[in-house]
Amino acid sequence: MTITYREAIRTAVREALTRDSRVFLMGEDVGRYGGAYAVSKGLLAEFGPERIRDTPLSESAFVGAGIGAALAGMRPIVEVMTVNFSLLALDQIVNNAATIRHMSGGQFSIPVVIRMATGAGRQLAAQHAHSLEGWYAHIPGLRIVAPATLEDARGMLWTALEDPDPVLIFEHQVLYNMEGQLAEHAGAVDIDRAAVRRDGTDVSLITYGGSLGKTLQAAEALAGDGISAEVVDLRTLRPLDMPVILSSVTKTRRAVIVDEGWKSGSLAAEISARLVEQAFYELDAPIARVCSAEVPIPYPKHLEDAAVPQPAGIVAAARQTLGRRG
């Protein structure tokens, strides 16, 4: 069937609500308004205000309520409007959700799922469009996932709800309108493994989330030059699936990491370091990184496009690792 990324997530939420009476959705405007990105449209009428809960405009309060509900045995899905706003709930996420299992000696778990939009590309400017998932990937006790395909948008939620620990799902804003074919009975998917989205032999392009489509475009352009690029979709940012990454890079002997976060202190920097630590002698060229410019995301479209990774920049980086110019 033909479906959008937004509809795939809505289907996943609906299935979870139907499947388990402990599941409920809470967040700003998720009820009567239908969600900031229309993901929860129609769910209030279907499931009622006990299961689809509009919250006050206080991320710290409603994320904390979600953590408390998870401690009490519920399976909350907490929707935060954008990753920038999640910073108002950092104390709850980092100091509570991520640590309670450890601090209780394993007596308590926090099976909460926190969904949020991330990334640039819709002219929402600097307070609504940053890619901060790499920050959260720094924190032990959290699982960080970034669905980039319809299958993952549809299937990651249920798997996340079955996890006894907190899972943060980052949905890139530019993907909500992405449309494609999805099997009608598509179900839960793995959230432990990276996926090779395109096989190749000359260079590994490693990416995730909203940059996957651009990276596949770059791989297609490189193929026109006779360069075979392998595309690895990380899917889970914490814990990283290093065996898949290492297998790809060991085969191609070159790596380009595409990460919409800023280069300084980035997830791309972490992957680069691990490759140097674990596969240094397999590399035939320095690792390349294509990241966002070190600026707040601009509002004007031409500046926003210039600030974040684009296919042409990925192609140029790949060509450079192969010693090619032009």
Active site residues: 59, 128
Contact yes or no for 76/114 (Cβ under 8 A): no
For 290, the enclosing helix (H) or strand (E) is strand 288-292
Write the CA distances from 319 to 52, 189, 223, 251, 256, integer angstroms. 49, 34, 11, 17, 10
DSSP output for 184-232: TT-----SS--EEEE--SSEEEEE-GGGHHHHHHHHHHHHHTT--EEEE
| Three-point CA angle 156, 304, 88, nearest 5° | 55
What proportions of the chain, in percent to the nearest 5, are helix, strand and coil? 40, 20, 40
Nearest to 143 by CA among 68, 79, 73, 235: 235
How far apart are the C-alpha atoms of 127 and 83, rounded to whole Å? 9
52-54 vs 195-198, strand pairing mode:
unpaired
Q: Residue 196: beta bridge partners?
A: 232
DSSP output for 181-194: E--TT-----SS--
38 Rama sector, left if φ>0, alpha if ψ -120 to 50, beta otherwise: left
Give the SS3 label for residue 39.
coil
